[in-house]
Each structure stands twice: as C-alpha cells, then as structure tokens.
Chain A
Amino acid sequence: MSLNSTSPQFKDNAARALGDVQLQKALLNVKQGFIDKRQKATERLPEFEALRDSARDIKNHTLQNLDLYLEAYEAKVQASGGHVHYARNAAEARDIILQLCKDAGARTVTKGKSMIAEEIAINDHLESHGIVPIETDLGEYIIQLRHELPSHIIAPAVHLNATQVEEDFRRVHTHLDPKRDLSEPVHLLTEARTVLRERFLAADVGITGANFLVAETGTSVIVTNEGNGDLTQILPKTHIVLASIEKLVPTLEDVSQILRVLSRSATGQEMSVYTTFSTGPRHIGDSDGPENYHVVLLDNGRSAMLGTSFEEMLRCIRCGACMNHCPVYHAVGGHAYGWVYPGPMGAVLTPTLIGIDQAGHLPNASTFCGRCESVCPVKIPLPKLMRHWREKEFERHLTPATIRSGLGVWGFFARRPALYRLATRLAIGAMGLAGRKTGRFRWLPLAGGWTRNRDLAAPQGETFQARWRRERGRRAA
C-alpha cells in the first residue's frame, strides 16, 4: 500500500478543498464536461442499457470462475512467448518490476497510465533504486512534475488549471526558451509532446496497465486517447503489463461488449481513439514491437473480496462515471479522499486496500443520492456497499462517540413508535411554528455546521407519518 494516505484527515482535506479557489474553478470542468457528454453518448445507442446488463453479467461470470480463467490466461500468455508473475501484495509487485527493469539494464522507464502503478507506488520504488520512471499520459506527466497523486482515475490532473500547468512546465523544462508562448493549452500539449517524444525513443522498459486481460488469447488490452500507452509498449525492448487479477474477461467477444460501455461512460466517446490488444513479444519477422513481454498480476486483497458483499466492487472497469456524477466529488475533488482512488468507487475500494480504520470517513462522505449507481456501466450498487462499510465501522466501534450516541438516541425512539410519533409531532410542530414567517431557518441550534452554508427549509407543521395516515384515509374513502 502507498504510505502517503491522508484519508484519515478527510474532514480537514475537504474543508481545505472547499476554500481552494483554483480547485473550485477546476472542478467546474468535471461538472460541466463529463455529465452531458455521457448522457448524449448513451442516448445515441439504444442498446446501451442492455449492454450494461451484458457487461455486468460477463464480469460476474468471470469472477465466479476467476481461478479457472486465470489458469487459462496464464497458459495462453506463456504459449505466446510472454511471462506471467504473481504478486500477493504491493511490495511483491514492486520487487518483481524492479527486478525485471534491472534484468533489462534499464536506466529510464516510460509508463502508460495505470491506477495499479499508483496503488503500489512503483515510481518512488524505481527512483530509489536509480531508475527514472517517466509518466507519459499528459495528465499523469503533469502530476508527476508536481509530486502529486492523481485526483481522478481517468483525468489525473483535473484539479489543475492551465496557468498552473504553465508554471510547472516553465519550472521543469529549463532547457527551453524562457520567453516562449505558453498562453494556450495547445502550446502546453505541444511542448509535452516534444519533450516526451525523446523520452519514448530512449526508454529501455515500458510499463503499462491493462483495462482488460483476455483469457481466450492471453491478450492485454489498453484504451487511450493520446497514443502514449502504445508508444510506451512498442518502442522499448521490454514491455511490462501491470494489472490486478479482476481485469480478466473470458473472450474477445466479452471484451467487445464491455468496451461499448467503457468510453461512453467515461468521456462520452463512441470509442476511445486507441484500443490496443497486445499478445506476447514481437513475432519472428516483425520489424517493431518489444522483444520481452511480462505480465505482473497483483492481488492486494482482491481475492479475499470474492464471496463477500464487496465482491461486486471487483466488476469496476475504472471509467470514472461515479465520480463525474458525485456531488461530494464535485465539491471537494479527488485529493480530499486522501489516497489513490477517489469518489464513490474509491469510498468502497479504499477501505478494503488500506483498512476501514484508515479510510472510515470515505464511505461516510456520501449523500446516498444514488447517481453513482445509476450511471455505473457494470451496475455496482455503490451506495449499498458504502452502507456496508458504515455498518462494519459501527460494529468495530470505529464510529465517533457523538455519532454513536446520536444513533443511540434515535434508536431509542425508533423502537417505541408511540413515543417517536409524539416526539416528531412536537418537534416538527414547533419548527413549523417558528419558521412560519420566512419559511426557512438561517440558523438552528446544534445544526450550525449545516446552516453556515445554506438555509434549512422550515417544515410545514405536520409529520410525514401524520400526512401519510391522512392521505391514505382519503384515498381509501
């Protein structure tokens, strides 16, 4: 596990994020950019809902038979001349990759975008052993220059504005003319392209992630828009694929089903620009491509999620739709979550990877509005899983005392219906009376934290239960 988790400080992180003007400006891009594009893409494809079901079923079937599909996949990789390495945890994965890089005599390593690489913090490990890792996805490159974690799983630098990127490029690319024009985003893109082109051509090893692993053929699949993943894997002598075990799918047909929902859910594209299927090292007679092909399969707690209520999380295909649609993510951004995976999927996954004692705030940072589940291409019930974490947190007595006692008070009334009705009638009646004039409260005792940023609408004076009884009586009559 990455050592730099600030998930235990979620509340402080969130408070800081809310006051960060630059961040708040950048976060508008998430709200405005992703939601509308996804919506339009799904409307263009009448079969989208059926494909979501299909994708969910394929993932479920694979997980139920993951042992057998892993064996089949491994056999096919070996038959195509590649090598498969298993890592129980992050430390083992780091050691395997370091050794492969040393075996290749690597000085520099280019990297395609990989969340698993962030999960095992491979860059720091390589660097501390004298090997230079170079992120090549534009967003990852920017955050590498800033020594930051990604703030989004498909848009790592979404928390930044162009002026900040310009400052970083001027700080790092000191070999270029200091008077050059970087006023437009396209200038920044062109500069990154030029700088990284040399790095691609010089690298000894390329490390990519995998969106999918195909058991039928022993193939790893990457999906990118920039083409950086492809240059990372076809130019160096050695290609290392770093993937977690749940990336398996049975066949090329199965991966095609899921690809139809992936980019539409992620960026609203019909298909990402480059979808690449790689199988083994270069063949005899090939004039380019890597000479060595290695796959590092990471478990890191995933095998133990099978057969539990969190098994459904292993369907996740990392599209980012859940965070793109999350009001909490819109408000605080990805870094507040404190580790590699932000948003609703991170709120479910992070506690399994770094512990609920570390990441307990994350499943609590949800309004349970349900938008994440409604847009998830593989229909993961994210609110339900967050609720399961809250229950586990409560069972393990990790919930703060104020919340526990609050729940205790509520539980006392909830188990005594007559008392509950009386208490709510008195409270709602009093609040209705007090708020009668303006229809809202600008301040309430014990709720100052809530009313500091918005007003609370005043109740109309009648409880829900009372109204229910009245309405039902009317309808029956």
Chain B
Amino acid sequence: MSARDDILGTIRRSLGVSGKETIRRQIVADRLERAPKGVIPARGQLSGNALLALFKVQAEAALATVTEVASAADVPQSIAHFLRDHNLPATLRMGDDPRLRAMPWSETTLAIDHGPSGGQDLNAVSHAYGAVAETGSAVMVSGSENPSTLNFLPDNHIVVIAAKDIARDYESVWTKIRFTFGKGGMPRTVNWITGPSRSGDIEQTMLLGAHGPRRLHVIVVKA
C-alpha cells in the first residue's frame, strides 16, 4: 500500500470513519466554500482617517516608519528625501508595477533599476496589494510587478500603499484576494510584512536587520 493510502487509512481507522460519509463530506465542502470568519477584533473596525491613524500607530509600533503624501505624483520626491535623510545612495530598484511606472521619477536624480533583486541592491520600492490596520501590516503579492526578492534582499525596503487599500482586518484582504485571483486561487506568494527584519536569538535581545531589510519605510498615498 502506498504511504498516502496507509496514512489516510490510519487516520480513518483512528477516527472510526470511512471517508465516504455524506454528512462529513458536506460539512467540509461547506466550510471550504463559505470560509466562516470567526472572531474579528473590534480594534480595526474603523474607517477614513481613524483607520489610517490606526494603521500608522500599529506599523510604527512594529518599528516601521510611515509617511503620508497627497498623491502618487509625490512619491518619487518623498523617496528621494527619505534616502537623503538617511545618508543612503540615490539608487532604487523596482519591478514593473504600472502604478510605480506612472510616477514622475525624472523629477528626482534617483538612479533606477528594474526587475528582481540579485542581492546587491541597497534600496527597493514595491507597491503593496493592500494593508491591514489591525496590526499595521503591508500585504504584498508576488509577480513581475513587484518581485518578492525586493521584499527581502535590499537593506532598505520602501512600500507604497494607497490609503484606500488599507483594510480593517486580514479577512477583508482575503475577500479582495478571492476577487482578484478567483475563489481558491492564489498568487505564488502573499507576504504580510509587519515592520523590518529582526532577531531575538542572541540572549533574547531584539536586534533589527537580521536577514531581511534593516528599514521598512511605508509611504501612504492619500488620494
């Protein structure tokens, strides 16, 4: 007997079931179909400026830095300022996200590279798919628009989030993912990112900049 059949067989023997029970199959199919939400914390159930304010508080508590700009056209200047303020070189890597491409990069002196990171980049910018105010988390999806390597290899990761994409809770993001990718469908990777990389593995002292970015800088585009 194959290992698969053996394991399923032992599970069924232990549970005292055959696997053919109509009721069990129906219950499981229903749960997968309906995906009940469970307990949703009241904390995130806000809207407008209050929701944005919560996102900011939570992201900063996770040691990200957050800045707000009025429109997408202000993003390049904001990034240039951020890099200058931290004495970082005026270089930037990004994928081919159309929202980023449409921004007026020529107004800055930033040297821009496109495509995934090979591990040599100091700075990268990605456009978030969404965000969750409850914990100040950015939600990224993989693809050539925003390659996953940009989330992890550069020292300084800048994430652009449209204010309207900030959700109250994780469940709202899943609803949106199902709308974008179809029920039961997923991009190769969904990353929830809550603050910059860290490790507490030496004497339980939290230190930033383990393997991922040392800085996570979030730019919220209000309009």
Q: Using Cβ atoms and an 8 Å threshold, which residues of chain B touch A72?
A: 28, 32
Q: Does B49 contact A (CB under 8 A)?
A: no
* Pair B212/A273 contact, Cβ less than 8 Å: yes
* Pair A303/B204 contact, Cβ less than 8 Å: no
Q: Using Cβ atoms and an 8 Å threshold, which residues of chain B touch A7?
A: none
The contact of B210 among A64, A193, A200, A304, by CB within 8 Å, is A193
Q: Using Cβ atoms and an 8 Å threshold, which residues of chain B touch A188?
A: 202
The contact of A253 among B116, B174, B212, by CB within 8 Å, is B174
In the bound assembly, the distance between CA atoms of A29 and B38 in angstroms comes to 35
Instruction: Give B128-170 as 1s and 0s: 1 = Cβ < 8 Å from A's Cβ atoms.
Output: 0000000111000011100111011100000000000000011
Q: Does B53 contact A (CB under 8 A)?
A: no
- Surface stretch bound by A, among B2-10, B74-82, B104-112: B2-10
The contact of A273 among B31, B95, B188, B198, by CB within 8 Å, is B198
Closest to A87 in B: B3
In the bound assembly, the distance between CA atoms of A278 and B14 in angstroms comes to 31
| Contact (A253, B171) CB under 8 Å given A231-B153, A303-B10 | yes
Q: Using Cβ atoms and an 8 Å threshold, which residues of chain A touch B148?
A: 230, 234, 288-289
Q: Using Cβ atoms and an 8 Å threshold, which residues of chain A touch B142?
A: 282-283, 286, 288-289
The contact of B186 among A88, A157, A219, A272, by CB within 8 Å, is A219
* CB proximity of B215 to chain A, nearest CB, Å: 13
Q: Using Cβ atoms and an 8 Å threshold, which residues of chain B touch A250?
A: 28, 31-32, 35
The contact of B149 among A61, A64, A288, by CB within 8 Å, is A288
Instruction: Give B33-52 as 1s and 0s: 1 = Cβ < 8 Å from A's Cβ atoms.
Output: 00111111111000000000
* Pair B209/A253 contact, Cβ less than 8 Å: no
* Pair B35/A253 contact, Cβ less than 8 Å: yes
Q: Does A161 contact B (CB under 8 A)?
A: yes
Q: Using Cβ atoms and an 8 Å threshold, which residues of chain B touch A58?
A: 38
Q: Does A201 contact B (CB under 8 A)?
A: yes
* Pair A138/B14 contact, Cβ less than 8 Å: no
* Pair A272/B143 contact, Cβ less than 8 Å: no
* Pair B185/A86 contact, Cβ less than 8 Å: no
Q: Using Cβ atoms and an 8 Å threshold, which residues of chain A touch B136?
A: 270
* Pair B191/A275 contact, Cβ less than 8 Å: yes
| Contact (A54, B39) CB under 8 Å given A230-B151, A256-B170 | yes
In the bound assembly, the distance between CA atoms of A89 and B187 in angstroms comes to 32
Q: Does B203 contact A (CB under 8 A)?
A: yes
Instruction: Give A158-169 as 1s and 0s: 1 = Cβ < 8 Å from B's Cβ atoms.
Output: 101110010000
In the bound assembly, the distance between CA atoms of A304 and B170 in angstroms comes to 34
* Pair A67/B201 contact, Cβ less than 8 Å: no
In the bound assembly, the distance between CA atoms of A33 and B202 in angstroms comes to 12
- Surface stretch bound by A, among B15-23, B65-73, B83-91: B15-23
* Pair A308/B198 contact, Cβ less than 8 Å: no
Instruction: Give A130-174 as 1s and 0s: 1 = Cβ < 8 Å from B's Cβ atoms.
Output: 000000111100100000000000011110111001000000000
- Surface stretch bound by B, among A43-51, A342-350, A422-430: A43-51
In the bound assembly, the distance between CA atoms of A271 and B138 in angstroms comes to 12
In the bound assembly, the distance between CA atoms of A34 and B205 in angstroms comes to 11
* Pair B35/A65 contact, Cβ less than 8 Å: no
Q: Does B61 contact A (CB under 8 A)?
A: yes
The contact of B14 among A50, A235, A270, A306, by CB within 8 Å, is A306
- Surface stretch bound by B, among A220-228, A369-377, A402-410: A220-228
Q: Does B101 contact A (CB under 8 A)?
A: no
Closest to A81 in B: B188
Instruction: Give B182-223 as 1s and 0s: 1 = Cβ < 8 Å from A's Cβ atoms.
Output: 001111111111111111111111010111110000000000
Q: Does B122 contact A (CB under 8 A)?
A: no
Q: Does B103 contact A (CB under 8 A)?
A: no
Q: Using Cβ atoms and an 8 Å threshold, which residues of chain B touch A288?
A: 116, 142, 147-149
* Pair B212/A189 contact, Cβ less than 8 Å: no
| Contact (A281, B209) CB under 8 Å given A30-B204, A162-B202 | no
* Pair A245/B194 contact, Cβ less than 8 Å: no
In the bound assembly, the distance between CA atoms of A72 and B137 in angstroms comes to 29
Q: Does A99 contact B (CB under 8 A)?
A: no
* CB proximity of A366 to chain B, nearest CB, Å: 24
In the bound assembly, the distance between CA atoms of A455 and B144 in angstroms comes to 68
* Pair B14/A303 contact, Cβ less than 8 Å: yes
Q: Does A185 contact B (CB under 8 A)?
A: yes
* CB proximity of B96 to chain A, nearest CB, Å: 8
Q: Using Cβ atoms and an 8 Å threshold, which residues of chain B touch A216?
A: 32, 35, 184
* Pair A270/B194 contact, Cβ less than 8 Å: yes
Q: Does A352 contact B (CB under 8 A)?
A: no
* CB proximity of A225 to chain B, nearest CB, Å: 5
Between A and B, 16 residue pairs with Cβ closer than 8 Å are A51-B38, A76-B184, A136-B211, A155-B201, A227-B152, A230-B152, A234-B148, A251-B32, A254-B38, A256-B171, A267-B200, A273-B193, A274-B212, A283-B143, A287-B95, A303-B7
Seen from chain A, the residues whose Cβ lies within 8 Å of a Cβ on chain B are 26, 29-30, 32-34, 45-47, 50-51, 54, 58, 61, 64-72, 76, 80, 86-88, 92, 136-139, 142, 155-158, 160-162, 165, 185-186, 188-190, 192-193, 196-197, 200-201, 215-219, 225-228, 230-231, 234-235, 245, 250-254, 256-257, 259-260, 267, 269-283, 285-289, 297, 299, 303-308
Seen from chain B, the residues whose Cβ lies within 8 Å of a Cβ on chain A are 2-4, 6-8, 10-12, 14-17, 19, 24-25, 27-28, 31-32, 35-43, 58, 61-62, 95, 115-116, 118-119, 135-137, 142-144, 147-149, 151-153, 169-171, 174, 177, 184-205, 207, 209-213
